[in-house]
């Protein structure tokens, strides 16, 4: 494309219907050529999005949790989620999917997240979908029904990952497995081909005999459990219990319209 460099082309995974990369930078690279971008942040942004959207809430992603998030929410007539430990009876909405499940449902919610929200913002004009272990198969089926996942309409599946203290990307097992679950379900006749990166992620998920235990015992799972949030890990590891496909429409994740095609 215009303005791209040879280096951009090396990492774009051209010729593949389904592609895979990590974090906001990977999203920016692949989004330039993708018809659809799938964000995967299992612990816990996209899991929280599925929980909220299931309850009829429109979820506005926001990259930072600070005073600007509150102003952003006020402009949209929305509640704003706070940090897990900052939740109160008066403001019970947070990035905790377990807390969102028990909090009062609201029409609009701003969900700050430095990783998942930044990836969603990198998509440009592409369709953006939120996926996790709870809805991986539903997302793959929706993508296929809408013609995504071919070289003409490629889909980019982005594992969010976490951050090291210095701000650099920490690849996270839970997001690799979540992305792999979507890609494995996309690896059907008529779809693809998967790029080598996407195929490796799908193979990792397929070769993991117990994804629930793997995520629970992963570094991120242990970190949340030690912090008193084992309930969030439990919600995030409910495999394929959700048929809702959250799609970013007018700045908010909303449940996709059911497709009439098989």
Q: Which residues pair with 130 in a beta bridge?
A: 39
CA separation for the pair 166, 12 (Å, rounded): 27
Count, residues in the chain: 262
Helix (H, G, I), strand (E, B) or coil at 140: helix
The residue behind tokens 């402009």 is: 75
CB 155 within 8 A of CB 34: yes
The predicted structure's pLDDT at residue 120: 86
DSSP 90: S
Residues 135-160: tens digit of each pLDDT = 999 999 999 999 999 999 999 999 99
CA separation for the pair 15, 255 (Å, rounded): 30
Residues 190-245: tens digit of each pLDDT = 677 999 999 999 999 999 999 999 999 999 999 999 999 999 999 999 999 999 99
Asked whether the CA dihedral 88, 90, 94, 96 is positive or negative, the reply is positive
Question: Smallest Cα–Cα separation from 183: which of 174, 193, 173?
Answer: 193
What mean pLDDT comes out for the span 60-77? 86
CA separation for the pair 160, 63 (Å, rounded): 13
For 17-254, the fitting CATH number among 3.40.50.80, 3.30.2350.10, 3.40.50.1370, 3.90.1560.10 is 3.90.1560.10
pLDDT band at residue 1 under the 50/70/90 scheme: very low
pLDDT band at residue 10 under the 50/70/90 scheme: confident
pLDDT band at residue 26 under the 50/70/90 scheme: very high
Q: Is pLDDT at 104 greater than 70 in this prediction?
A: yes
User: Whole-prediction pTM value?
Assistant: 0.93
Phi and psi for 201 in degrees, rounded to 5?
Answer: -65, -40
Helices (H) and strands (E) in the chain, counts: 12, 11
Question: Smallest Cα–Cα separation from 143: which of 134, 152, 132, 155?
Answer: 155
The residue behind tokens 């242990």 is: 222
DSSP run (H or E) holding 50: helix 45-54
Helix (H, G, I), strand (E, B) or coil at 125: coil
């Amino acid at each position: 494309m215009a303005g791209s460099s040879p280096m951009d082309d090396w990492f774009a995974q051209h010729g593949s219907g389904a592609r895979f990369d990590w974090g906001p930078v990977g999203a920016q690279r692949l989004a330039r050529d993708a018809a659809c971008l799938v964000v995967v942040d299992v612990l816990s942004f996209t899991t929280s999005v599925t929980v909220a959207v299931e309850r009829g809430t429109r979820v506005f992603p926001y990259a930072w949790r600070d005073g600007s998030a509150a102003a952003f929410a006020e402009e949209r007539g929305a509640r704003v989620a706070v940090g897990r430990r900052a939740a109160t009876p008066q403001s019970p909405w947070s990035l905790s999917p377990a807390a969102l499940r028990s909090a009062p449902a609201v029409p609009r919610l701003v969900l700050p997240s430095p990783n998942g929200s930044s990836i969603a913002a990198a998509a440009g004009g592409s369709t953006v979908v939120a996926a996790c272990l709870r809805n991986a198969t539903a997302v793959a089926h929706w993508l296929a029904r809408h013609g995504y996942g071919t070289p003409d309409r490629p889909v980019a599946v982005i594992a969010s990952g976490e951050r090291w203290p210095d701000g650099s990307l920490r690849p996270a097992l839970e997001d690799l497995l979540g992305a792999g679950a979507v890609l494995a379900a996309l690896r059907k006749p008529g779809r693809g081909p998967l790029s080598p990166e996407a195929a490796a992620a799908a193979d990792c998920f397929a070769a993991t005999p117990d994804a629930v235990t793997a995520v629970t015992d992963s570094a991120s799972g242990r970190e949340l459990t030690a912090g008193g949030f084992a309930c969030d890990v439990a919600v995030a590891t409910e495999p394929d219990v959700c048929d809702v496909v959250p799609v970013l429409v007018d700045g908010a994740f909303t449940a996709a319209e059911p497709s009439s095609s098989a």
